[in-house]
Structure 1
Amino acid sequence: MKITVGIPAYNEEKNIASIIENLSKIADTIIVCNDGSSDNTGRIAEKMGAVVINHERNIGYGGAIRSLFLKARELESDVLVTMDSDGQHRISDVLPVAEPIIKNQADLVIGSRFLEGNQENIPKYRKIGIKMITKLANASLEDAVSDSQSGFRAYSKTVLSAITPSEQGMGVSNEILMKASKNGFKIAEVPIVVSYEGKTSTQHPVSHGVSVTLSTLKFISIEHPLKFYGIPGLIFFGIGLIFTIMTIQGFTETRQILLSAAVIGVGTIIFGTVLLMTSIILYSIVNLVRENSSK
């Protein structure tokens, strides 16, 4: 079975050589996506024997993952393991992460930081953010996961053929999970240990969290428009009816219109109606697109 390791890299000339050297002992092929680095990351990777994809400019983590998927598909890899280039992932975890796919037990495997008590090394702010984003992602997954934001993953040949990531930012991790779940792929998790010593992230945690949350909400709204727009629409419509009834009752008793209740009633009914119509229209469009794409 051909195991390929894919590494998205941006200005990682200090780490990339040692990572490739250690990976060459266990991987059949190593792909490095040099995502617009201004240092020698790409040149070093080429000298070390890796297959290098060079982006002319930095387009983001999601864009790098997309390029790795496409190249692994082109190379007919049986398993693609993705890991970070900043040294926080252990080389020794590569084969355990790939093992469920090798044994035909899973199609996608997440190296989770939250299994078997391995979360002690995770900074508290990251732990809180990861868990919140994971809960949001789990709302659209058939089976809940513990670490939706882990970049240490393994993908089967079937997943590589069926999924082409489109998100260019950090939201690509949740995008792939939601698409995999929609396609009925088996998702598994294995424990990993991550090192957070030194500088291991180039993006501010707040902007990272906001970006991933917005991206996840976007995909949830596309995949489940009736839930995403329809349920809030019903709630607002119901609230509007309550305030409208209160206004009518107040008028029949006092012959005076309570302006605030009337405005709230009419406003929420209109807003709820818009959300309900949006959910129905998007649901129809999404299903029409799916039917056409399956022909």
Structure 2
Amino acid sequence: MASDSRRNTGYTDNSRQVVFVGIPAFNVERSIAMVVVQAKTHCDQIVVCDDGSTDQTRQIAESLGCKVVRHEKNQGYGAAIRTLMDTARGGGADILVTVDGDGQHNPKEIEALIDPIRRGEADMVIGTRLALRDADANIPRFRSMGIKAITKIVAGLSQQKVTDAQSGFRAYGRRALDSIHPGERGMGASTEILLEAKANNLRIVEVPSEIKYSKETRSTLNPAYHFTDVVGSTIKVASLRHPLLVFGLPGAIFLITSLVFGIWALDIFAKEGRLVTNLTLISVGGAIIGTILV
């Protein structure tokens, strides 16, 4: 796709790595053309995963020369990312860049995003929305709060030093493509991928990235649902990989709580001859929950 346009734009690929741009798309007919046109000079192939769109997203992407892989029904962001990864892996891509189809990312930043991979410094690169000065001013308040909260949870579970765990603007080198296979269908796939990267000892680097929010880029998901979906998915994946961390520590806390309240209840019973129901119930309940978790 890009050989002629590269010569016209000064694009050089000293490492001769094949670069795919993958666009997860759902009803983005108003923005998909702009994203494709801006991205095509920075890659060898653009793949669009049309996740069950009911508008002209697929037709527009095909008319611009993109390879379109279609889901007959809307399966979710994570399913679209998995399809893009599978397609890039099967197509011989050395690097896959994911760019949202709603226009919130700047495709002109693709070169900066993939540069650490080309230099052999990273297996995966994240375009962080929170690195630039006044970044919070460009992000809706509740979304910014959600991003930071989710990032802290992911950082704690994965020991990855990232500032933006939910950014969809990412680059994956061949090692990452070969080892990451997200199973979450929803937005939780973004954090699942970070946990998989940690499990496979992948090197992750962040680079600053601009973000543009508009009516087209506004999420159709309820913010509370989005947050609980991502956190729930993250805990589920983490519990499978690190059961002691996810269940062992809370279990130990419940058991200690049970012991403290049990001693308190027995002390009162020994001194006054009466059993305090509330303390006893807390002790028994803590013991049961703690035993189940541990």
Query: Do both share a fold (TM > 0.5)?
Result: yes
Deviation at 1:254, TM superposition (A): 2.1
Aligned to 1:76: 92
2:278 is aligned with 1:245:
no
2:18 is aligned with 1:2:
yes
Per the normalisation by structure 1, the TM-score is 0.90
CA contact (8 A) 1:4 1:79 kept: yes
The one of 156, 161, 164 equivalent to 1:147 is: 164
After TM superposition, the structure 1 = structure 2 runs for residues 1-295 of structure 1, keeping only pairs within 5 Å, are 1-117=17-133, 118-200=135-217, 201-276=219-294
Which runs of 4 or more aligned residues in structure 1 lie more than 3 Å from their structure 2 counterparts after TM superposition?
none
What SS does the aligned partner of 1:105 have? coil
Deviation at 1:11, TM superposition (A): 1.0
What SS does the aligned partner of 2:41 have? coil
What SS does the aligned partner of 2:165 have? coil
Q: Which digits, 9 at most, give the CA deviation of each residue in 1:257-293, with x for residues without a partner?
A: 22322222222112211111xxxxxxxxxxxxxxxxx
Q: Which amino acid aligns with 2:240?
A: I
CA contact (8 A) 1:2 1:79 kept: yes
CA contact (8 A) 2:38 2:108 kept: no
Q: Which amino acid aligns with 1:106?
A: A
Aligned to 2:6: none
CA contact (8 A) 1:170 1:211 kept: yes
CA contact (8 A) 2:51 2:80 kept: yes
Q: Which digits, 9 at most, give the CA deviation of each residue in 1:98-127, with x for residues without a partner?
A: 111111110010000111313321111111
CA contact (8 A) 1:17 1:45 kept: yes
Structure 2 residues not aligned, in runs of 5+:
1-16
Q: Which digits, 9 at most, give the CA deviation of each residue in 1:156-202, with x for residues without a partner?
A: 01111111111000000000011001110000000010111223122
Aligned to 1:282: none
Deviation at 1:39, TM superposition (A): 1.1
CA contact (8 A) 1:148 1:174 kept: yes
Counterparts of 2:269 and 2:70, CA distance in 1 = 70
What SS does the aligned partner of 1:25 have? helix
CA contact (8 A) 2:132 2:210 kept: no
Q: Report the number of matched residues.
A: 276
CA contact (8 A) 2:34 2:103 kept: no
Aligned to 1:288: none
Counterparts of 1:205 and 1:121, CA distance in 2 = 17
Counterparts of 2:214 and 2:30, CA distance in 1 = 15
Q: Which amino acid aligns with 1:43?
A: Q
> What's the C-alpha RMSD, in Å, of the aligned pairs?
1.2
CA contact (8 A) 2:124 2:202 kept: yes
Deviation at 1:218, TM superposition (A): 0.9
Q: Which amino acid aligns with 1:73?
A: R
Counterparts of 2:34 and 2:277, CA distance in 1 = 71
Counterparts of 1:261 and 1:119, CA distance in 2 = 46
